[in-house]
Amino acid sequence: MLIINIAKIWGIIDNKQPKTPKQYTPIFQSTPPENCYLLIENGTIKKWGSMKNLTLNNKTKTIDAQHSELMPGFCDSHTHAVFTGSRENELLQKLEGLDYFEIKKRGGGILATAQKMASMKEKDLLDESYHKILNLIKLGTTALEIKSGYGLNKNTELKSLRVINQLKKILPIPIKSTFLALHAKPNLFKTTQEYYNYVVSETLPVVLKQKLADYLDLFCEKKFFKPAYITKLAEIARNNGLKLRVHTNQFNSIGGIKAAINAKAFSIDHLEQLNDKEKHALIKDYSGFCTLLPGVSFYLDLPYAPAKYLIENGLNVNIASDFNPGSCPSGNMGFMFVLACLKYKLTPLQALETTTFNGAKALEIHQTHGSITIGKKANFCLLKPNHTLNKIPYYFSTPFIDKVFINGTLF
Ligand code: NIG
Ligand code: FE
């Protein structure tokens, strides 16, 4: 298939660019080629070039981009997209002045979603999640990570993980599955230690044996799980050939950064509350991913993570949605792009890099996805005619994704 009359191709990586350590250098070409065609063969990017040099072959299926811009699809490396129900009642409580912890005390939060998950039939959960993700693909998401963590008991956690693994098979985009082993302590257990023992002795062995997870994860936070659990889970991950993702510093700084750095966590996520000491420790001692979630700051009214500072100091920053019913009921990566510019103060090019290629790196699929590179999967988006990359944050509420291509096929 051939796409003609593309105004600009964003997201090109020609060859492996040497990364200057500890300082930001653009990943994508900052002056993209204009007035182009793009040729796709067997679902991968075969070639692009100037329209001037194109000789048309009648047999090739052709789509006219009508002078719109092209960009790689979003790679969303942190979601909880397998859940049921909604929690708008908590938003009303929040509007009356209650915070996340008070809402939790009154029976809201993660436990409220877990209750709804328990009675859900596996095939209904699959169906609901499948349709949620189809909607995300229409919004430009072309790769995804999904966590369990709303089960909180063996059966429901395994059910969620099986659903994620089913989604891998039936959806056309790459999906990575994460066992969010410690998300919240169910009331049944008196202490977090007791719950940890249950998870490790009951649920985890099945997850490992059935190879249901690509990563492990936990929620390190006051009234949830202490940093010591990062160390414990990291050891389990290491012993079983899995990598660790960590939710930390969303509301409070309680030592999660230090523990995650020491544990060599693959990704440290959230970072809304980051003190100077922690920032310096990340710069000095951390070479994994900082996964930032601007939708959470927006929805819960939290500070925005210091994205620009981290990027300029050479950290691997990627931006994800955290799509979940409690702290970001939106998986729209286009909206995260807008927040990345308007709130993190990233340039549109940096917003593009952090929501696409860096996301692919954080999903370990960057050899095949995340940029416009010959030989990579043809997963990309055409912007609406008259919209441009630079107009995305300017017309902040205007939908800008026109067409989405997955493996070279119009979705
Ligand atoms: O990533 N931080 C912990 N977990 C989710 C929110 C969970 C919820 O409130 O349902 C998050 O923000
Ligand atoms: Fe999360």
Per-residue pLDDT tens over the stretch 187-204: 999 999 999 999 999 999
- Cβ–Cβ contacts within 10 Å for residue 218, how many? 29
* Ligand found nearest the CA of 146: 2
| Confidence band for 23, pLDDT divided at 50, 70 and 90 | confident
* Stretch 55-73: mean pLDDT: 92
Question: Tens digit of pLDDT for each residue in 274-311?
Answer: 999 999 999 999 999 999 999 999 999 999 999 999 99
The finding on whether 359 has its CB within 6 A of some atom of ligand 1 is no
CATH superfamily of this structure's domain 74-362? Metal-dependent hydrolases (3.20.20.140)
* 247: phi then psi, degrees, rounded to nearest 5: -85, 120
What is the 108 CA–ligand 2 centroid distance (Å)?
A: 16
CATH topology of domain 2-72+370-410: Urease, subunit C; domain 1 (2.30.40)
What is the 322 CA–ligand 2 centroid distance (Å)?
A: 5
Tell me which residue of 324, 299, 121, 309 sits closest to 219, measured CA to CA.
324
* Stretch 371-384: mean pLDDT: 97
Give domain limits for the chain. Answer: 2-72+370-410, 74-362
* Ion ligand 2 contact residues with beta carbon within 5 A: 322
Q: Token pair of 253, please?
A: 């700084």
Which pLDDT score, from 0 to 100, does residue 14 have?
81
The finding on whether 110 has its CB within 6 A of some atom of ligand 1 is yes
| Confidence band for 58, pLDDT divided at 50, 70 and 90 | confident
Q: Token pair of 405, please?
A: 């291509």
- pLDDT surpasses 90 at 1: yes
Q: Token pair of 333, please?
A: 């990566």
Nearest atom, ligand 1, residue 150 CA: 10
- Mutate which of 247, 293, 298 for ligand 1? The one with the most ligand atoms within 8 Å of its CB, which is 247
What is the 146 CA–ligand 1 centroid distance (Å)?
A: 13
* Stretch 94-116: mean pLDDT: 94
What is the 327 CA–ligand 1 centroid distance (Å)?
A: 5
Q: In what order do the strands lie in the sheet with 409-410?
A: 44-50, 34-41, 2-9, 62-72, 380-383, 401-406, 409-410
* Ligand found nearest the CA of 94: 1
Q: In what order do the strands lie in the sheet with 243-248?
A: 74-76, 141-147, 175-182, 215-220, 243-248, 267-270, 289-292, 316-319
Q: How many residues are listed for the chain in this entry? A: 411
